[in-house]
Amino acid sequence: MRFRMLARSVTALLVTTLLAAACATSDTSTPPPGTGPAADTSAAASGEDAGRQDTSATSGDATADAPETTADTSAGVAGASENGNAVVLDPRETGHLRNFLGYTFPPAPEVQTGPLQRAALNDLNMIWSGLQRGGISGDAIARLGQTGDPRLGWIVSDLLRFIPPGELTDGAISAFQSLTGVRLADDPVALRSPWQSVTDHLLAWDLPVFDGYAEYKERLFTLVEPGWQPFFDDVDSDIDWRIVSWGGVLIDNRELGDPRLCPRGCIPALDNPGVTDVEGGSWYPDDGIVFAVVLGGEARAYPRHIMEIHEMINDTLGGRRIGMPYCTLCGSAQAYLTEEVPDGVATPVLRTSGLLSRSNKVMYDLVTKSVFNTFTGRAISGPLRRQGVVLPQTTVVTTTWVEWKAAHPDTTIVAEDGGIGRSYPLNPLGGRDDNGPIFPVGDVDERLSVQDQVFGVVLDDGTPVAFPVDAAVAELEAGGTVELSGVTLQLDGGGVRAVDAAGEPIEGHQSFWFAWSQFMADTLLWTP
């Protein structure tokens, strides 16, 4: 049986659905397509595209080389080793991989090796041919589920992300359950998004793919957004295509300084924003959150609600060019020194790709189309990967406007209209992330709650160290010391920054715990 889609091709269907969400006149959109028939349609379930392209008067992913995941890390369980007041575990020795709602992932299914069966390849090609023609064979999806090859679960995940709810979605879910033995109804995440649950299982198991998987992913993703083609062209890239998913928007490929919105829907970076002094920043509420940077003796505050709309800023501060991604899904604002590249390499212009990697935005360089690991600044594809580019970071302090301007009275702040004549709502996401990650992250490190804020640094030897922000600030305000592995935190304008034993700064930033712990394997964690 062949099920006909509403549009003549998957491209038209997906882009039409995308634009309906991205161009909505509310500050939050409905969930991106492909989240399943039981998906939550509240603001908390809306995706990376929430509020980005609203053009009304009040309007406002990976990165891809993630390390091994982490899981149960409560003290006293098998596999634990102690380092001062930090606990580090090998979660795979504990045997308890759980998601953020406490569901325990079952053991990974036995995985086949070698090439796919010829019949499975034929069905894959039938499905992909149907994608191009606008109709997918439900029978072919069902047959994939009977192959006994769990590696095809990654194909099911990719299809579920894009196909609209209906018989095809139900068939894909059944295929995944047959391939893996999983009963999705046991996972509470599946109640709001079967796709998220399916992908969480695959991530937690670290399930391998079959040879040629990336080619099928390329054919599907470039149907939706041809602008992603350069990311696939580097066959030697360090991108792990298993963990890359669609964030619900298309690529931002506007030239540097272009203030216009993307005609087809994207998260538009803000280039060279207008700024004002403290007096000119009186429009911003004192308790408003800012991401603050000091560079070359110059301080600047970037209001969170503006960053929630643009998620990327290219700016000049203290005579230096910086690129500042803000992954709303990870609660992480970072500042990269983009001009610190090898001789002969043009200063990267950072843009949002529209893709995600374990719920972290995937950023890329507009000039070379090179993909970066957004969390580490390392180029993982394209010319910048071949040249070994790793962008250095400078510290981002997360605090309130009133505390920052009191500590830094000469600071500037991004202008109310961003310098582009735009109006920004003060709460564009509307509590979207209040109920945990809304995109796949796999298993989680249970030492902290997934959305606890931590301040993280990476030592020269590569050791990651994290500090729970609320506990650290309370300790410092009480006159105590916050130190671990030679890293000492200090208060700065209501937020924190780090120094080493000699008092020299160590670059760091805040993020949700789930993000830090999954991208920084074996992180040390300070406890009061």
Structural domains of the chain in order of their starting residue, each with its CATH number: 246-414 (2.102.10)
pLDDT attached to residue 126? 95
Question: Residue range 361-383: average pLDDT?
Answer: 98
Yes or no: say if 490 and 496 are a contact pair by the CB < 8 Å rule.
yes
Joined together, the tokens standing for residue 82 give: 């102690």
Q: Strand, coil or helix: what is 189? A: helix
pLDDT attached to residue 84? 41
**35 falls in which pLDDT band (50, 70, 90)?**
very low
Looking at this protein, which amino acid is placed at residue 324? M
CA-CA-CA-CA dihedral for 391, 394, 400, 403, to nearest 10: -170
pLDDT attached to residue 263? 86
Yes or no: say if 227 and 362 are a contact pair by the CB < 8 Å rule.
no
pLDDT mean across residues, the chain: 86
Q: Which residues contact 245 (CB under 8 A, 6 or more apart)?
A: 61, 157, 161, 199, 355, 356, 357, 439, 440
Q: Which tens digits make up the pLDDT trace of 93-143?
A: 445 899 999 999 999 999 999 999 999 999 999 999 998 887 888 999 999
Q: How far is CA 111 from CA 121, 207, 519, in A?
A: 17, 8, 25
Q: Which tens digits make up the pLDDT trace of 249-270?
A: 999 999 999 999 888 899 999 9
Q: How far is CA 78 from CA 74, 352, 446, 450, in A?
A: 10, 41, 14, 22
**165 falls in which pLDDT band (50, 70, 90)?**
confident
Query: Is pLDDT at 36 greater than 80 in this prediction?
Result: no
- Looking at the DSSP bridge assignments, the partners of residue 413 are 276, 301
pLDDT attached to residue 257? 96
Q: Give the per-residue SS3 of 101-161.
A: CCCECCCCCCCCCCCCCHHHHHHHHHHHHHHHHCEEEHHHHHHHHCCCCHHHHHHHHHHHH
Query: Is pLDDT at 24 greater than 60 in this prediction?
Result: no
Cα(124)–Cα(388) distance, integer angstroms = 36
Angle at 17 between CA 14 and CA 21, to 5 degrees: 135
Q: Which tens digits make up the pLDDT trace of 313-359?
A: 999 999 999 999 999 999 999 999 999 999 999 999 999 999 999 99
Query: Is pLDDT at 301 greater than 80 in this prediction?
Result: yes
pLDDT attached to residue 371? 99
Yes or no: say if 472 and 482 are a contact pair by the CB < 8 Å rule.
yes
**22 falls in which pLDDT band (50, 70, 90)?**
very low
Of the listed ranges 132-146, 198-212, 237-251, 487-501, the one predicted with least confidence: 132-146
pLDDT attached to residue 48? 52
Query: Is pLDDT at 164 greater than 60 in this prediction?
Result: yes
Question: Residue range 374-390: average pLDDT?
Answer: 97
Helix (H) or strand (E) holding 352: strand 350-357
Cα(124)–Cα(460) distance, integer angstroms = 46
Query: Is pLDDT at 66 greater than 80 in this prediction?
Result: no
Surface-to-core class of residue 180, CB atoms within 10 Å of its CB (0-12 exposed, 13-18 middle, 19+ buried): buried
Query: Is pLDDT at 61 greater than 90 in this prediction?
Result: no
pLDDT exceeding 70 applies to what percent of the chain? 82
Q: Strand, coil or helix: what is 284? A: coil
pLDDT attached to residue 38? 34
**242 falls in which pLDDT band (50, 70, 90)?**
very high
Nearest to 3 by CA among 160, 131, 135: 135
**82 falls in which pLDDT band (50, 70, 90)?**
very low
Report the DSSP pairing between strands 335-337 and 393-394.
Answer: antiparallel
Query: Is pLDDT at 68 greater than 70 in this prediction?
Result: no
pLDDT attached to residue 331? 97
Cα(467)–Cα(266) distance, integer angstroms = 34
Q: Which tens digits make up the pLDDT trace of 471-496?
A: 999 999 999 999 999 999 999 999 99
**86 falls in which pLDDT band (50, 70, 90)?**
low
Yes or no: say if 150 and 180 are a contact pair by the CB < 8 Å rule.
yes
